[in-house]
Structure 1
Amino acid sequence: MSSEQMQIGEVAARTELSLRTIRHYEDAGLVTPSARSQGGFRLYTEADVARLMVIRRMKPFGFTLDEMRALLHATDRLDSGTELPPEEREDLLERIRGFEQAAQQRVEDLRTQLTRAEEFAATLAERLTGTPVS
């Protein structure tokens, strides 16, 4: 096995995704092992790991599998090395801008939720200790 290829266990460790989750993303068409070993084991490359990291980063934002697929398709087309017609390139960039804006909005929503959660935890701590928590 080439040093640039790794089995699913190593990929799982590097991405902090379970084997089951990686297989699920494979079944959903989001990632495809780059090769198979003679024994039939999935073999992944650094590019596959990078793709899984994009998926992992999208998950907490609540993006659907279809949305993940759409973003990955756009980035795959832009990264393909193929000369794209200007209108297609702009369309792909606009799609990515839409995902970036959605991610920024979700970051703000999460910050609000975190502030509320911290306030709630502080209220509980104050109740338990009888002293205000700052």
Structure 2
Amino acid sequence: MAQAHHMRIGEVAERTGLSLRTIRYYGEVDLVVPSARSRGGYRLYTETDVDRLQLIKRMKPLGFSLDETRELLAAVDGLSADDTDEDERAALAERLDSFEAAIADRCVTLRRQLEMAEEFAERLRRRRAGRAASA
């Protein structure tokens, strides 16, 4: 079996666009625990850890709480585990379905907010253009 490539936290930060502080915080709250530690005590992460951080990063702007994020990650982990029984797998899949619906709702809300912001910006541009024309 091939050995996983381990990355130090700086490389992970660069790849994910997250700060070192944020990555450490996610470790402190058990969202992403480093896969290993170097002999010198440095946190070491794998590609799976990076994927997990990217998922968390995508949930944040949608307004998911840490508990909701933890719940989604637990469902994802359970579905990918070999020892998850069929009933539990069905319940986890149902939970993911509810997250998908929540994400879709939040996207609709964000689109509306973006439309309002763009409309507001356009009104300001027109107002400024109207003042410039009368000057």
**Bin for the TM-score computed over the shorter chain:** over 0.9
Q: How far apart are the structure 2 equivalents of 1:126 and 1:85?
A: 61
Tell me the residue number matched to 1:14: 15
Tell me the residue number matched to 2:49: 48
Q: How far apart are the structure 1 equivalents of 2:126 and 2:5?
A: 53
Residues paired across the two proteins, number: 129
Tell me the residue number matched to 2:64: 63
Query: Which amino acid is the alignment partner of residue 130 of structure 1?
Result: G
The answer on whether the counterparts of 2:8 and 2:44 sit within 8 Å (CA) in structure 1 is yes
| Secondary structure of the corresponding residue to residue 39 of structure 1 | coil
**Could you say what the CA RMSD is over the residues aligned between the two structures, in angstroms?**
1.4
Find runs of 4+ consecutive structure 1 residues off by over 6 angstroms: none
- What are the ranges of 5 or more consecutive residues in structure 2 without an aligned counterpart? none
Query: Which amino acid is the alignment partner of residue 69 of structure 2?
Result: M
Tell me the residue number matched to 1:105: 105
Query: Which amino acid is the alignment partner of residue 18 of structure 2?
Result: L
Report the CA distance between 1:98 and its aligned residue. Answer: 0.7
Superposed CA deviations along residues 12-64 of structure 1, whole A, max 9, x for unmatched, are 01111001111111111100101111111000000000000010000001101
Superposed CA deviations along residues 44-97 of structure 1, whole A, max 9, x for unmatched, are 000000000010000001101000100100110110122x33221111001101
TM-score w.r.t. the length of structure 1 is 0.92
Tell me the residue number matched to 2:79: 78
Tell me the residue number matched to 1:114: 114
Q: How far apart are the structure 1 equivalents of 2:77 and 2:85?
A: 15
Query: Which amino acid is the alignment partner of residue 53 of structure 1?
Result: Q
| Secondary structure of the corresponding residue to residue 66 of structure 1 | helix
| Secondary structure of the corresponding residue to residue 44 of structure 2 | strand
Q: How far apart are the structure 2 equivalents of 1:130 and 1:47?
A: 54
Tell me the residue number matched to 1:37: 38
TM-score w.r.t. the length of structure 2 is 0.91
Query: Which amino acid is the alignment partner of residue 42 of structure 1?
Result: R
Q: How far apart are the structure 1 equivalents of 2:39 and 2:85?
A: 41
The answer on whether the counterparts of 2:4 and 2:46 sit within 8 Å (CA) in structure 1 is no
Considering only CA atoms, is the larger Rg found in Structure 1 or Structure 2? Answer: 2
| Secondary structure of the corresponding residue to residue 69 of structure 1 | helix
